Amino acid sequence: MVDQEEIERLLQTMSEVWGSEEQANIGLANQVAELNAIVFDGELPCVNVHVAPRSMLSGLFGADRNAAANYNPAYEDHAAYIFVGQSAIMSKDQARIILAHELVHHWEHTVSTDSDPSTYPNEIEMMIKHWFPDFKSEKKWRATHSNRFLAKAYLMSAEHGFELSRLLSGYKPAGALHLLT
């Protein structure tokens, strides 16, 4: 069941940050197109972006309902979607970093091959260990963040200036990795 108060908060945030609901949707779509062109050389197939209440952020892979965003790959006759919640649209910069993270998932499901790099610096392992002091939470996060995902995030950081901790976590300062899937 959708919480009407949450919908009103989403609409208010879209209006305050983006100008209107329509402008928010256009802005998010433009960010995806720009990231695809710059980071993925325009190779990513279409992915829809939808601002969604928490109840829609659980996704196909059982992500946390407190998630900032969730990627759902295309299947059968359903298009691929990135659902973004209120915390993802609090600023245009925040939306961009979260969309970049979710587009790495889209890349993995649509363009990436086994020949893509899957190695990354030990610095990433140290960040993950710091963010997830217990094995169970780290294992849950790693279930949806492969070595290829981590290697691609590292390359995006090195080649395109994304702050690595923000790209992996979506937040500054990084520390809430469970909020992105």
Contact partners, residue 2, CB within 8 Å, separation at least 6: 53, 55
Distance CA 140, CA 62 (A): 10
Angle at alpha carbon of residue 160, lines to 149 and 176, rounded to 5°: 50
Beta bridge partners of 81: 48, 72
Inter-residue contact 117 to 155 (CB < 8 Å)? yes
Give, for all 181 residues of the chain, the pLDDT tens digit. 567 888 898 899 999 999 999 999 999 999 999 999 999 999 999 999 999 887 777 654 444 545 688 899 999 889 999 999 888 888 999 999 999 999 999 999 999 888 888 899 999 999 999 988 899 989 988 998 999 999 999 999 999 999 999 899 865 444 444 334 4
Contact between residue 95 and residue 121 where contact means Cβ atoms under 8 Å apart: no
Q: What is the pLDDT of residue 85?
A: 86
Task: Tell me how far apart the alpha carbons of residues 81 and 73 are, in angstroms, rounded to a whole number.
Answer: 7
Report residue 30 as tokens: 């433009």
